[in-house]
Structure 1
């Protein structure tokens, strides 16, 4: 696992006491964000299957029930439609619910609540009701979860007007983005890449800070002197580390990669993407979801609209396959570094 350089941009002017830092993994950073915001805002409520005494299937909410009790950390029945419908009702009455869906694959029984109610509430009420809430859920493969515990459904929500979609890749961003999401007036889908829940570690401030929604980060930059065969790689979540590993191998062959971590998938930071692609003239998108109609297709369209005259090669997607997520062939399905590297080489030589 390549260690990401931590983002040191603190975007909330109210930040205080953020000087003390400690090593956290993704689980600890998300837990810390929930605890901090529940202390700061008594309207914040966590609900979902096993989020209370057990602390969630991945222990992300561990300790919150002990601290805040049954009224603020609520174990629910196994009913995603019920969880999300209840959370929407809470939001309409002025609370700030943070429902957890145990796996993103289980969100589909509640999809209608998100699409037909949550996403449209501000619009249909003329701005009177905002349905301010964050839906947290782990996504992606890499844990031997098989076809019902490994999917990446981000494009299904990015397509729905009225929603924001976030997917952090490291603990610093996870805490800052979650705090920003809970404070945002719009509903947010907060996708947590479970493959790196405990593998991604980094320094995280113990105090209050946010990472601005809608802002990507260039985590690996190409020097101006080495742009001749350079490639831009767009990635997020667990696949960012695969992109970095592939870029390390490409560097050994004299090929430089500029890597952009999207962080917020929607609204996407097209300005940062376009600036990078105009610099390199080449772009590769990496994501776990199936290729057809995946978010990579939209990113390629946006790059073509903004950067067409700057392109030196056709944009390329390295993705999952158009099949249900496999169990025994999981590592063949995922777009790992060994699948990304040949595409980098080919694109750089175009």
Structure 2
């Protein structure tokens, strides 16, 4: 075991897989010599050579298109899109090619690629470095969508994603890169507090895709979340006094509906928390599934606590994020219904 933050855990995952499997290659903008803008690929080029970890032009469609071709012919590319906000030029490649190639070829081809990208706000990056586009990709049949919330999960989920035979969108919460925070959003002081990094195995291990984690057992209400908002939900549960069960979904597609149903059927109440905007966000899908599968056990309507339905508000970044106060208010509303 070693003490790692999320960046170090992601780096360890890529290094572990590059050592185990010569078909694994890493490429993207500034990922080679420089080691990536967040240093996630630091040292990989020096260790494995420029033919396995290399830089690309600023052309996201070309990066993903090349990865699709390489994956279809037997390689396992891990590509980095520098920010999730820049992934849109590659959207056609992902939705029209990567997601459909297995079906279109009647199983003759598959594309085992991973598209890593930092997502979400919290670093004062403004509108073009802070978006949360996960809902766009969960809508596309054929793509898998994974979002870790801890260094341990980040490494294990990335290894599982690299070994998966289907294309995976791997969204990395930027606010958690250098250490989980306690979820509090007191804008009068520093708006996060960093805990020590987590214990992470240095060797190979997997965290399976499609399996949620119950990070806080409880009896009164179920909170469904992922990424940074898991820590917000935990802080809200602690501060509110409500006995909340907090579930970290970890992967949105495939979704662990069994764990969700078991929890909601037990508590009778459900709150969904995510950073993305509310309208057509993934929380709407979760709410619909819970309402359909747990209808007769529900004691109150499914609540959603999300970002605002506006373009990303740089000047009001910390007000935009769901915080413990908003989540606790939703919990009390659910309990009083």
CA distance in 1, matches of 2:67, 2:104: 18
Match of 2:184 in 1: none
Deviation at 1:117, TM superposition (A): 0.3
* 1:201-254 Cα deviation digits (max 9, x unpaired): 2111111110011000101002xxxx3xx1100010011000000000112xxx
1:288 to 275, 285, 292: 275
Residue 242 (structure 1) aligned with residue 232 (structure 2):
yes
SS at match of 1:160: coil
1:165 to 145, 165, 179: 145
Aligned-residue CA RMSD in angstroms?
A: 0.7
Residue 231 (structure 1) aligned with residue 218 (structure 2):
no
Worse overlay, 335-344 or 73-82: 335-344
CA distance in 2, matches of 1:114, 1:346: 40
Deviation at 1:267, TM superposition (A): 1.0
SS at match of 1:276: helix
1:262 to 232, 236, 249: 249
SS at match of 1:46: strand
Deviating 4+ runs (over 2 angstroms) = none
Map 1:1-350 onto structure 2 (within 5 A): 21-200=1-180, 201-222=197-218, 227=219, 230-251=220-241, 255-350=242-337
* 1:18-75 Cα deviation digits (max 9, x unpaired): xxx1111000000000000000000001010000011001000000011111100110
CA distance in 2, matches of 1:65, 1:338: 44
Q: TM-score, normalised by structure 2?
A: 0.94
Match of 2:189 in 1: none
Structure 1, gaps ≥5 residues long: 1-20
Deviation at 1:168, TM superposition (A): 0.3
Deviation at 1:347, TM superposition (A): 1.0
Match of 1:12 in 2: none
Match of 1:17 in 2: none
CA distance in 1, matches of 2:31, 2:79: 9
SS at match of 1:329: helix
Structure 2, gaps ≥5 residues long: 181-196
CA distance in 1, matches of 2:72, 2:305: 41
CA distance in 2, matches of 1:336, 1:102: 27
Q: TM-score, normalised by structure 1?
A: 0.91
CA distance in 1, matches of 2:326, 2:333: 12
**Which fold has the larger relative contact order, with Cα–Cα distance below 8 Å and residues 6 or more apart in sequence?**
1
Match of 1:14 in 2: none
SS at match of 1:328: helix
Count of aligned residue pairs for this structure pair: 321
